[in-house]
Amino acid sequence: MAIFSMTLTSFYEDYAIKMKSEAELINELTKAQLNSLKLQINPHFIFNSLNSVSALTALDPGRAKSMIILLADYIRFSLTAGKNDFVSLNDEIENVRKYIEIESIRFGSRINYNEFFEPFSSDFKVPPLIIQPLIENCIKHGVENTSETVNINFRIKNYSDMILISIENNYEDFTKMKKKDGVGLKNVKERLKLHYNNVNLVKISEYNNLFVVELTLPALQ
Amino acid sequence: MKVIKCIIADDEPLGSGLIKKLILMYEGFEVIAVAQNGFEAVKLVNELKPELLFLDISMPKLNGFEVLELLDHLPEVVFVTAHDNFAIKAFEQNAFDYLLKPVSDERFDKLVQKIRLKLSEPAHNKNSSGTLLNKSEPITRIAVKDKNNILIIPVGDLIYVEAADDYIYLRTKGGKFIKKGKISYYSENLNGKEFIQIHRSYIVNLEFITGLELFEKDKYRIKLSTGEFLPVSRSLYKELKEFLNL
């Protein structure tokens, strides 16, 4: 009897451990998935930026220096913020501005970037590098495909329990925006799904040569 | 020394600015124009007839390879790009040289020496047409000139290609366009799953074939969904039948 009871106890202990480890495993799996999805810096971006720096050292050394500092800041944020699950929306916006500044050195007046923000709490948190990929798409599919000026509009609407972020750009008719199946956008979708356990946080619409991606980001409890 | 006239085509101001600065450090070079996209490049090169063209590959509207296809005047072409995966294709296009960005001063100096040597030769033989073999991926679109406009035809819209000496006709739903080139280029570069050569002068898009019929003794022709008929040569008839699973 003593033996039996011992076996039973150890059975329950094993079972409890097993249950716990399964929950942990799922948690770890989610973390691993998130890590693998966390946006690495696009190699094209690095090369293009290095080209800009190289050209600037010959054409405008002063601007070459500011470009290097911008790049360093941008890379630092991408590497450090990427380690956190969440960053403040303000930091994320700051990083988007750096990114735009770097790309504006490359494309000049072909980028017309505008912000339309409703006031929001400085505590509001978002997953790191969740907005930048959308801006990168505007550059890749909008700006790179036309010699005309592309308007990139970044809007924030505050609904207290959630924030609506919208990124839109115009594009030239015959280039067609092919972002729907793009890696960047797919990655953003996957990450939001894993972070908030909700699959309906990304909305894509296209009309009148305007490409719009909307993210609904819930306030954290 | 005769001045070598250059045009630089690059959509990024820093890209063209750097090449301009580098080339002007050497005596005997003049930059006569800077094009900011593919269309401008075609127009400027055909009009101003430079001896040397620095051509960025990734540009809006028309990429560097497409620009090359549309040139009536073909200068020595130096491709400039940040992407080394274009290198093979660039050489297949008979590029004079290929610069990978960022360009070092030493590398640029080598190019200048090479170009001086080449352009000082009395007569340089080169292919008059830019369209040369490209054994990489099948082409997906074809650029043609229609009066003063440039049209891009997605190959899916192409019904057939017809040979006419040094020219080819491209028949699409929208009309028939003429372009310099050989039919062999298209038989090698159109996707073999979508197009088939049925005659020494015709390559046809399978999508548009609606019938195959005998119209004289031993002579076959295909019917297209447009109502047109195209001859099938005896030697290619068997191949076509197999292709259509007959």
Side-chain-side CA neighbours of B113 within 13 Å: the count stands at: 6
Classify residue B190 by burial, with Cβ atoms within 10 Å: 0-12, 13-18, 19+: buried
Question: What is the residue extent of each domain of chain B?
Answer: 4-120, 156-243
* Domain range summary for chain A, segments of one domain joined by +: 31-218
Whether cis (ω within 30° of 0) applies to the bond prior to B102 is: yes
- pLDDT band for position B126 (cuts 50, 70, 90): very low
DSSP designation for B139: P
| Amino acid A207: pLDDT | 85
Which positions in chain B touch A145 (Cβ < 8 Å)?
Answer: 60-61
Cα-trace Rg, chain B: 21
Residue B102 in contact with partner chain A when CB distance is under 8 A = yes
Instruction: Inspect the interface and report whether the beta carbons of A51 and B36 lie closer than 8 Å.
Output: no
Return d(Cα B223, Cα B229) in angstroms, integer.
5
Pair B185, B130: CB distance under 8 Å: no
**B16 Cβ contact list (under 8 Å, min separation 6):** B8, B9, B10, B34, B36, B54, B56
CA-nearest residue of chain A to B80? A51
Q: Which residue has the tokens 């000496």?
A: B165
**Is residue B38 a contact partner of residue B67, using CB atoms and an 8 Å limit?**
yes
Give me the helix-helix angle, A89-107 and A43-59, nearest 10°.
Answer: 50
Q: From A64, which residue of chain B is nearest by alpha-carbon distance?
A: B14
Of B79 and B132, the structure prediction assigns the larger pLDDT to B79
Rounded-to-integer distance, Cα A173 and Cα B206, Å = 28
Identity of the residue in A52, A145, A146 whose CB atom sits nearest the CB atom of B14: A52
CA nearest to B151 within chain A:
A174
Burial-class residue B151 by CB neighbours within 10 Å (0-12, 13-18, 19+): middle
The whole-chain average pLDDT of chain B stands at: 85
How far is residue A17's CA from residue B47's CA, in Å, rounded to a whole number?
79
* pLDDT value of position B131: 38
Q: For B156-243, which CATH class?
A: mainly beta
CA A132 and chain centroid, separation: 5
- A53 contacts on B by Cβ (under 8 Å): 102
Q: How, if at all, do strands B219-224 and B209-216 pair?
A: antiparallel
How far does the CA of residue B106 sit from the closest CA of chain A (Å)?
14
| Structural Rg of chain A based on CA atoms | 22
Looking at per-residue confidence, does B21 or A220 come out higher?
B21
Query: Other C-beta atoms within 10 Å of B2: how many?
Result: 8
Indicate the residue type of A113.
Y
Assigned token pair, B58: 């990734």
CATH topology of domain A31-218: Heat Shock Protein 90 (3.30.565)
In sequence order, the β-bridge partners of residue A211 are A169, A206
CATH number for domain B4-120, candidates 3.40.50.11540, 3.40.640.10, 3.40.50.2300, 3.40.50.720: 3.40.50.2300
Give the distance from residue A91's alpha carbon to the nearest chain B alpha carbon, in angstroms.
29
pLDDT tens-digit series, residues B36-91:
999 999 999 999 999 999 999 988 888 898 899 889 889 999 999 887 777 777 77
